[in-house]
Amino acid sequence: MKAALIVKPKGELKETVENAVKILESKGITPLLEKETVERLILNRESCSISDMRSMADAVIVLGGDGTLLYASRMFRFLNVPVIGFNLGRLGFIMEHNIEDFEKVINDFINKKLIIKKRMKVDGIILENGENVFEEEALNEIVINKGAPSRMIELSIFINNSFVTRYRADGAIISTPTGSTGYTISAGGPIVHPDLDSIILSPICPHALNIRPIVLPKTSTIDIRIETSNVECYATYDGQIVRPFNSGSILKVQRSSADLNLAISENRNYYSILRDKLGWGGIPC
C-alpha cells in the first residue's frame, strides 16, 4: 500500500514527519512525499510530484490544519481513496484525529475500523460573456466579496435559472455542510450536519432586513451576477484560490461530481466536536 503524505507548509515538523514515516513503513505502507516537503524539512527521502502521487496513492494522509486538508482535497479531487487528517493546527475542525494518536489511527485504518464518510464539494465556474473562463472546486465554501472596503456591491441571484432576488451587500457565501461551521456561521448562517447533502447560500452584511441565508437542495445550480460596475470583486475558493470577478460576470455554483472520502473513528461524535471546538450549546456561567 502507498499513501500520499501531505504536510502543513509551515512550522518545525521534521521530527513529526520522520516519526510518521517510520510508523507507516513499519506497517508496510510506503509514504509518498512532496518535493517541497522533503526539501523544506531536509528529509533523507525521495520525493514525488503530485501527478505521480495521484497515480500511485491508495490513501491520502494529511498532517496540518484545516487549510492543509482543503489543499489536499483540491490536489486529489478525482482520487477516490480515503483521506485521513491529523490535526497540527489551532482549531482543526475538520481534521478528525490528533497527531498523538497517529499509530493507533493507522492501525485502525489497516484493520478497517475507520468509517469512510462522503463529504460533498461544490464547483464554481466563472462565466464572462457566456464563456467559461475559470473553474475550481471547494470543500468548504466559495465567497464573492468586494475589494473596495467602503462600497457595497449589488448581486442578482438565480437558482435553477429562475430569478430569486437582487440585493446590496459586502458579498455572498456559497457553502457545503462541511463549510457551514466556517465563514458561513460567522455571517449568520446555519450549522448544517455534514451527513446532509445541501448547499447553503448566505449574504455577507446585506443592506436589507429581509435578506437571510437559505439552505438549498444538493441538486441546485446557483448563478450569482455582479451588477455593480467600477468595484473590484473576487471569487475565493476555500480561502486559498482567488480569482477576479467583475461586473457582468456570473459565478455558477453546483455540486461537484467528486466527494471527499474522509476517514473517521467509529466513536466520533459530531455534537461533541461542535461543543468542544466551537463552544456550541455551552451553558453561560
**Annotated binding residues, as ranges?**
66-67, 140-141, 151, 168, 170, 181-186, 240
What distances in angstroms separate CA 232 from CA 13, 160, 183, 206, 246, one per listed residue?
Answer: 38, 27, 21, 18, 6
| Dist. CA 166–CA 153, nearest whole Å | 11
Active site residue 66: yes
Please report, in range form, the residues annotated as the binding site for NAD(+): 66-67, 140-141, 151, 168, 170, 181-186, 240
Cell numbers for 16, please give them.
513529526
Which residue bears the cell 467528486?
258
Which residue bears the cell 484525529?
97
Residues 6 or more apart whose CB falls under 8 angstroms from that of 120 comprise: 176, 177, 178, 197, 218, 255, 256, 259
Q: Which of 52, 66, 123, 223 is catalytic?
A: 66
List active site positions: 66
